[in-house]
């Protein structure tokens, strides 16, 4: 019982701490990370542009975020919803929420979309998929 309460307390504290750290990082300029995959290969990975996209989202520039990495708003939104659901489920067990479940078909489909995006954004004719 005590272990469960400790888990709930740590989980409850994690969201405000992470939010504060992200806020401080963004206010200090943020988005300064370079992609090692791109640095070594010259190719874009599925995550290239995500840092700038997050920064743009924090400033309310949705179109710019989509331009940096279209998958971040598309796949990031449902992912954040699932994470938030799990956060609420753990912190407030009295609500009786069931664990979030993602079907195997959904996981395979999302993986296929990410791999296809990875390939397509490195084809010169589809350069609009590459981060700016």
| Rounded distance between C-alpha atoms, residue 66 and residue 74, angstroms | 9
- If one compares 71 and 23, the residue with the highest pLDDT of the two is 71
Label each residue of 45-106 as H, E or C: CCCCCHHHHHHHHHCCCHHHHHHHCCHHHHHHHHHHHHHHHHHHHHHCHHHCCCCCCCCHHH
Residue-wise pLDDT tens digits, 45-78? 999 998 888 888 888 999 999 999 999 888 988 9
Residue 69 CB neighbours (<10 A) = 27
Residue-wise pLDDT tens digits, 76-124? 889 999 999 999 999 999 999 999 999 999 999 999 999 999 999 999 9
The model's confidence at residue 32, banded by pLDDT at 50, 70 and 90, is: low
* Confidence (pTM): 0.76
- If one compares 94 and 22, the residue with the highest pLDDT of the two is 94
Task: Please report where in the chains the tokens 């331009």 appear, as a residue.
Answer: 67
Q: Tell me, what's the pLDDT at 31?
A: 57
């Amino acid at each position: 019982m005590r272990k469960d309460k400790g888990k709930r307390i740590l989980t409850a504290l994690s969201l405000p701490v992470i939010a504060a750290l992200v806020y401080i990082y963004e206010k200090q300029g943020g988005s300064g990370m370079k992609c090692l995959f791109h640095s070594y290969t010259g190719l874009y990975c599925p995550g290239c542009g995500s840092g700038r996209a997050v920064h743009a989202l924090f400033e309310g520039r949705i179109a710019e975020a989509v331009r940096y990495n279209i998958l971040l708003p598309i796949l990031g939104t449902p992912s954040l919803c699932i994470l938030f659901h799990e956060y609420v489920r753990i912190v407030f067990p009295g609500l009786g929420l069931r664990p979030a479940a993602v079907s195997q078909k959904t996981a395979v489909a999302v993986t296929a979309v990410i791999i296809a995006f990875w390939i397509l954004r490195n084809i010169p004719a589809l350069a609009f998929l590459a981060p700016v």
